[in-house]
Structure 1
Amino acid sequence: MTAEPITGHSSRWPVPPQDGYTVDDLFTLPDLPPHTELLDGSLVFVSPQRIFHSRMIDLLTYGLRSGAPRELKVVREMTVVLDRRNAPEPDLCVVRAEAVTGPELTRFEAADVLLAVEVVSPDSEARDRDTKPQKYAAAGIPNFWLVEMAGSDRHPVVRVYELDPVNKAYALTGIHHDRLKTGVPFPVDLDISPEALDAL
């Protein structure tokens, strides 16, 4: 016995290929929602974000841009191609300035990224904490920051990781609560207190 096709129902969602989507598909499929990511050949759609997410990205973007050397650029929400089946969109990246080739640019290669930052959202906790860091490390991105709310007062916390090139895994180098101070990918000293966040 075979299943009869369901009639009278049309789906707007694309049917995935047997081996999953590729980076080429991500950039050619029509009508994908903004900020769609590609992880292990699957399309990942982003849910609406909380104000913490938006403000934290703004705070880090402004702070990093003010201290970045000329040879580096700070960009937000741009696709990073890790391999043929993985093209996530970090919330924030520090990239080599020569990789910013013009206003039509839609993606960066992993080799041009020095720092990837993920601000954790309720719908993306597992991806932000586990899946993406493993993939960024495997692609050789030297630095990764994980940002989340913590404690009963829901204050920002930034965990700073550095790539161990031998293991191709990240090692935690610091946990920052009110002030983010680190030397990589360049000297950074930022106020990340709840007051700084509320001032935005």
Structure 2
Amino acid sequence: MTSMMTWPNHLLSLADWDALPEDNTHRYELAEGILQVSPRPVPNHQWAVMQLAFQVGPQLQADLGVLSDVEVVIVGGSPATVRAPDLVVVRTAAAKASPARFAPDDVLLAVEVISPGSRRTDRVTKFNEYAEAGIPDYWIIDLSAPVSVTAFQLIDGNYELNAGTDDVLSVTTPVPLTVKVRDLLP
């Protein structure tokens, strides 16, 4: 007999989120207390995240690090919002503490790779949530041909276009970084 998970019938707090059973078969996020479930990323998505981490990591100073698929508390109250960006640049001190999830103040850059079904969420919802949380930089990677990266910088509480390309991305925030966009996919 197969056991079935009982889904919450109320808006979730962080404590409710923590109490959910572990399940690595899907990707979970919490949006204003509502559990959002999506399939695990496809190989090209994962490849792009890994290649980006390989390119960004060596360019970071010692007090910064790059991590993939970690949780960031956007709103800690009830109802809570917890997102799992595809990649983040965080302060090394915060990463060494190995938190269950990061505070937005620890995140200097959040990166989302668009997946089937996530285009609006990545371009509108998370775009606004990350800005409201005060995350200084946000990148959106679109794997549709040609692969492109659009980089936004937080200015006066709103994201403004910093750079966008399908060739070589060069930015100065959160730190000077250069990314060969065409190398993100095999």
When normalised by structure 1's length, the TM-score is 0.83
Q: Which of 1 and 2 has greater Rg?
A: 1
Name the structure 2 match of 1:46: 38
Aligned counterparts of 1:60 and 1:181: Cα–Cα separation in 2: 13
Structure 1 segments of 4+ aligned residues over 6 angstroms from their partners: none
Aligned counterparts of 2:176 and 2:97: Cα–Cα separation in 1: 27
- State whether residues 162 and 171 of structure 2, in contact with CA within 8 Å, keep that contact through their aligned partners in structure 1: no
SS at match of 1:122: coil
- State whether residues 23 and 38 of structure 1, in contact with CA within 8 Å, keep that contact through their aligned partners in structure 2: no
Structure with bigger RCO (C-alpha 8 Å, 6+ apart): 2
Name the structure 2 match of 1:82: 74
- Amino acid corresponding to residue 73 of structure 1 in structure 2: G
Q: Alignment length, in residue pairs?
A: 180
Aligned counterparts of 2:91 and 2:70: Cα–Cα separation in 1: 14
When normalised by structure 2's length, the TM-score is 0.89
SS at match of 2:102: strand
Residues 1:197 and 2:185 are matched in the alignment = yes
Name the structure 1 match of 2:164: 175
Residues 96 and 45 of structure 1, relative CA distance in 2, 3 Å threshold: same
SS at match of 1:123: coil
SS at match of 2:179: strand
Aligned counterparts of 1:30 and 1:50: Cα–Cα separation in 2: 23
- State whether residues 27 and 39 of structure 2, in contact with CA within 8 Å, keep that contact through their aligned partners in structure 1: no
| TM-fit CA distance, 1:43 | 0.9
Aligned counterparts of 2:163 and 2:106: Cα–Cα separation in 1: 24
- State whether residues 163 and 169 of structure 2, in contact with CA within 8 Å, keep that contact through their aligned partners in structure 1: no
- State whether residues 35 and 77 of structure 1, in contact with CA within 8 Å, keep that contact through their aligned partners in structure 2: no
Name the structure 2 match of 1:66: 58
Identity of aligned residues (%): 30
